[in-house]
Structure 1
Amino acid sequence: MDDLITALGAEFVQLSLTPIVIGILAAVACALPGNFLLLRRQALIGDAISHVVLPGIVGAFLVTGAIDAFPMMIGAGCAAIVAVILIEIIKRLGRVEPGAAMGLVFTTLFAVGVLFLEITDTSSVHIDVQHALLGNLESLIWFDADGWQSLLDPAALATLPPQLPRLALVLLGIVLFIALFWKELKISTFDAAFADAIGIHTRLLGFALVVATAIAAVAAFDAVGSIIVIAMFVCPPAAARLMTNQLSRQISWSVAFAVISAILGYVFAGYGPGWFGSPYAVSAAGMIATISGLILLLTCMFGPQRKRIGQGAEA
């Protein structure tokens, strides 16, 4: 008990609280739009966008010569939009299936981004291949925190890692988008033809969903890297789909699975190896993605809806 109290004391607030909260915010921000992408059979879009933000971020650095969040988010957002356009062009002109078009675009653009990292001066700063894949979650420490009372100290709150308020705003925006267009998203997701017939602009709404996905991916990319972004777009929604056949409950389950993955993943990454006598920690991003995958595996084995996976969900 004393060890638990010590672990949750001032040192925990300074070293672990903000990484866990940032991991939760990133996971939930990706899982929410991931539910609609999954039901629309567009789950690979989240995967594609999480890859193509890398060349956008590198391009922004090459243009501005500085590591600044705003231009990098603009660059990543532009790269995501370019990727969506390229996917549509390849589908229409090449007459290939959507999955093949997405795979071609995101692997090519991600490879271009990695190549730029290796042949330009970006490798001399903290943007590198490992950072792109795994993020820097463990380094997002709240240096000025002095215990739980710092949560009520405006001066201490002003020194929070910038990724936390950024992800909080992005998550709020995604929640508002889903809440405002809930009916339209439901109808267009389950019956696009009917949605068109009653006047819903399905193409515009679909593009807005892709933009929301891109914003979530860009905001999460710097903190947690592409591995968590890819996993959170797919694993929590897919696991939630195996728990219920109703959309609102599916979203609730996906949020719960995202939160559990972030918390357990960070704890197991930092403290798990020590339980087995190892002095080393493992990647928090990799462990969070692993926990998310294990949750999906468990729902595949024991989920109430596992025998109805081929059937459509209910509104």
Structure 2
Amino acid sequence: MMGAEFVQFSLTPILIGIFAAMACALPGNFLILRRQAMIGDAISHVVLPGIVMGFLVSGTVAAGPMGLGAAGAAIIAVVLIEAIRRFGRVEPGAAMGVVFTSMFAAGVLLLEQSGSSGVHLDVEHALMGNLEQLIWLRASGWASVLDPAAWASLPPELPTMALTFALIGALTLAFWRWLKIATFDEGFARSLGIPAGALGFGLVISAALAAVAAFQAVGSILVIAMFICPPAAARLMTNSLSAQIWWSLAFAALSAILGYVLAGYGPLWLGARDAVSAAGMIAVVSGVILGLAVLFGPHRTGARAV
């Protein structure tokens, strides 16, 4: 696809990318501070078998069945990780490693068999998403906002990601005080009667919800950049948790905007004809922002946020 065509209708996919990045960044802040950042990595991979199963059962590349399958796989993964950790008496990293590799391998094997079901599931779509194709084709200016016929062609990923971000944001606000206390001192939180275990489980479920919702836009692999890079960069900018949240949302939105635009125009500037993956470029921009924060962030010495 030509770069000029790639960015011609850019508002809808940019918004989807922004909501996806911010929805992942919100729980990512707490996962990083809890030293559980790899949970986001595991979740973004273990949803793959559920996605493929949803496709194989429905026979169509539809967001509904594949999203349900991904949600089921994410919940199974969370339960398995917790069961292995508790009953196997192994440290969380080892439990995540077992579940992560086993379910991702199962997803790859299922993906290889998807071609025999009559409708082929594109491997690149499953792993990297299709953000650049999520265009509001019937939009013809701001008048389309009031046109019911135009709304019927709106990519469903946009309201899905907007609602997901709103839900995770509302839950973060509702449990803000508990999250803040339990993140930095779980023992003290328990002494106050705060259900720290249930709170941690809910945080993982929120991360799984963000990963599942973001799959259609950015795929099952690159979502990890959204969980880690914006919150980690924000952590280097401030010692305040509330300020860190805002910094991470700003970095997530900036990554989505710059990544999408550079994916379309960047190759043209270098003399190439075709655009590159928007999700991949968003991940690259996220990494660049994190690298700059590591070099120039005012709090890169590693003081704990409060």
| TM-score, structure 2 normalization | 0.93
Preserved CA contact (<8 Å) 2:45 2:221: no
Preserved CA contact (<8 Å) 1:53 1:77: yes
Counting aligned pairs with the same residue, the percent is: 67
One-letter identity of the residue aligned with 1:281 = A
One-letter identity of the residue aligned with 2:67 = M
One-letter identity of the residue aligned with 1:272 = G
After superposition, residues 256-295 of structure 1 pair within 5 angstroms as 256-295=250-289
One-letter identity of the residue aligned with 2:192 = I
Is residue 131 of structure 2 the alignment partner of residue 137 of structure 1? Answer: yes
Is residue 35 of structure 2 the alignment partner of residue 34 of structure 1? Answer: no
Unaligned runs of 5+ residues in structure 2 are: none
Residues 229-274 of structure 1, C-alpha deviations (whole Å, 9 max, x = no match): 1100000000000000111000000000000000000111101111
One-letter identity of the residue aligned with 1:77 = A
Inter-partner Cα distance in structure 2 for 1:77 and 1:116 = 17
- Compute the displacement of 1:122 (Å): 7.0
- Compute the displacement of 1:12 (Å): 8.6
SS of residue in 2 equivalent to 1:18: helix
Alignment match, 2:105: 111
Is residue 221 of structure 2 the alignment partner of residue 200 of structure 1? Answer: no
- Deviation larger for 213-222 or 106-115: 106-115
SS of residue in 2 equivalent to 1:184: helix
Alignment match, 1:239: 233
Residues 285-312 of structure 1, C-alpha deviations (whole Å, 9 max, x = no match): 11100000000000000000101x1x32
Inter-partner Cα distance in structure 2 for 1:180 and 1:126 = 43
- Compute the displacement of 1:141 (Å): 1.3
Q: Relative to 1, partners in 2 of residues 1:121 and 1:13: Cα closer, same or farther, differing over 3 Å?
A: closer
Corresponding pairs, count: 303
SS of residue in 1 equivalent to 2:219: helix
Residues 158-206 of structure 1, C-alpha deviations (whole Å, 9 max, x = no match): 3210100111111111011011111111111111111111111111111
Q: What is the aligned counterpart of 1:178 among 172, 176, 179?
A: 172
After superposition, residues 56-135 of structure 1 pair within 5 angstroms as 56-121=50-115, 125=119, 127-135=121-129
Is residue 164 of structure 2 the alignment partner of residue 164 of structure 1? Answer: no
Aligned Cα root-mean-square deviation (Å) = 1.9
Preserved CA contact (<8 Å) 1:228 1:286: yes
One-letter identity of the residue aligned with 1:16 = S
Is residue 305 of structure 2 the alignment partner of residue 313 of structure 1? Answer: yes
Preserved CA contact (<8 Å) 2:6 2:275: no
One-letter identity of the residue aligned with 2:144 = S
- Compute the displacement of 1:276 (Å): 1.8
Alignment match, 1:214: 208
Q: Relative to 1, partners in 2 of residues 1:81 and 1:12: Cα closer, same or farther, differing over 3 Å?
A: closer
Q: Relative to 1, partners in 2 of residues 1:275 and 1:148: Cα closer, same or farther, differing over 3 Å?
A: farther
- Compute the displacement of 1:82 (Å): 1.3
| TM-score, structure 1 normalization | 0.90
Alignment match, 1:188: 182
Unaligned runs of 5+ residues in structure 1 are: 1-6
One-letter identity of the residue aligned with 1:45 = I
Preserved CA contact (<8 Å) 2:128 2:280: yes
